[in-house]
Every structure is written in C-alpha cells, then in structure tokens.
Amino acid sequence: MKIAIMGAMYEEITPLLEFFKTYETIEYANNRYYKASYQGLELIIAYSKIGKVNASLTASTLIEKFGAEKLLFSGVAGALNPALKVGDLVVATRLAQHDVDISAFGHPFGYIPEGCVYVQTDETLVHIAHRVAKAQGLKLVEGIIATGDQFICDSTKKEWIRSTFQADATEMEGASVAVVCDALHVPFCVFRAISDAADMDAGFSFDEFLVSSAQESAKLILAMLDELKR
C-alpha cells in the first residue's frame, strides 16, 4: 500500500525522515518529495510550505502523481479549546475553513456552494489512531479543526473561530487537504500536536514548541504505520 505522510513545515516531517534514514528525493513543482519504504509499505513524504494553496497542491500531487492511497497529515496547531495544552495530541474528526466568508449571501461562515462547511476525516483511520495511541500510552483527543491562511494570535479572533465552528484547534492547512482527499476519494486523517494557545503569546510559544510538538505528532504517525502495515 502507498501511504502519503504530509506536513506543512520542514520541522513537521524531519522526525520522519530521520527515522527512515534512507529515502529517494524527487523534485517536482517547486517542492521535494521523499520516497521511503517501511516494512512493506511504500511511503511518500512531503512538506507543503504553509497555507491552504500550498497544501492543496502538495496533497493533489501526492495522490495524482505519486499514487497515494491514504494520506496522514502530521503537524502542530494552536489550541482553541482551553482544555488543550502544549504537546497534547488532537486527531481531527472534521475540518472547516474559517476564512471562507460569503455570509453576505446568507450562507454560514466556511460554506462553499456545492460543498459543505465541514469535511469529515476517515473513521477507520481515526479508530486505528485511538487504538495505537492507547497502546503507546499517548493521550489523543478527537476534535474539530478550523483552518485558515492566518496565524491566529489574538484572543478575540480565537474565540470567534471557536464559537463559530465549535473548533478545538486551528492551523493553516488541514481543511484544504481534507477537500482534496475527499474529492479524490482518498481516506485521510489529520494529526496535530498543540504548539500554542492562539493568543497574544502564540508566536513565542510556537517558536519554542514547534520542534517538540511536531515530534509528538510524528511519533503517533510512526505508530500508525506499524498498524497499517498489517
């Protein structure tokens, strides 16, 4: 089986590349794709660069050019739910684009005509993630992720996203990857470890915890592969 593992930033896929050690690097569309194999699984790994447009391009490429049959996203997020703290792991059940706004026409925030506000992740992958996390002694919580082309570092904006989308965490790629995978019928899952609280201190917290939180998320992805190879 061919599995894509995707991050947005180099730091988010580094723990995986360090783990696999040997991989082939392929340059395509201003980006690098890393091919590795792991216990019978064919892996294709990439970071997209930040934002929804880059993430859509990379997810589409992973599927259409490299033939990914499942896609796992690994990275960090800002917490919207006050119960989530730095380092906590979230698996998305559904994702929405918080910066889509055609409310002028009476539509809910996040709504795109002929689409819907939320895209659901693959239930089987979420189920496997819980089993794997339990076996590894990792705490994993399910949540709604709100995605937009903004680093959220403001309490008012944070509260608006939380209350409008009932979202638990915010980041800048997940929902666009979800749209691509849903349209191309590729089962997918988005894992995020919390790096900050999306408040006025978010920038400092992100810089401090990007690497360690990205490692937490990657740890779960690696454990998922052990389960998926069965």
Give yes or no: 199 in active site. Answer: no
* Of 122, 173, 196, 216, catalytic: 196
First to last CA, the chain: 10
Give yes or no: 12 in active site. Answer: yes
**What residue spans of the chain are helical by DSSP H?**
10-20, 52-64, 123-136, 155-165, 174-183, 202-228
Query: Closest approach of Cβ 27 to ligand ADE, in Å?
Result: 26
Q: Write out the residues near ligand ADE by the rule CB under 6 A.
A: 76-78, 151-153, 170-172, 195-196, 198, 202, 206
Neighbours of 132 (CB within 10 A): 20
Nearest residue to the partner ligand ADE, using Cβ: 78
Query: Closest approach of Cβ 161 to ligand ADE, in Å?
Result: 9
Shorter beta-carbon distance to ligand ADE: residue 67 or 203: 203
Query: Closest approach of Cβ 1 to ligand ADE, in Å?
Result: 29
95 strand-pairing partners: 119, 145
Copy the structure tokens of residue 143.
């949540």
* Of 12, 88, 168, 173, catalytic: 12
The beta strand positions in 18-160, using DSSP E, are 24-28, 31-38, 41-47, 70-79, 89-97, 118-120, 140-147
Query: Closest approach of Cβ 91 to ligand ADE, in Å?
Result: 16
Amino acid 61 reads T
CA atoms within 13 A on the CB side of 178: 28
Copy the structure tokens of residue 66.
């490299």
* C-alpha pair distances (Å), 128 with each of 79, 131, 223: 23, 5, 10
- Residue 193's SS3 state is strand
Query: Closest approach of Cβ 80 to ligand ADE, in Å?
Result: 9
Positions marked active-site: 12, 196
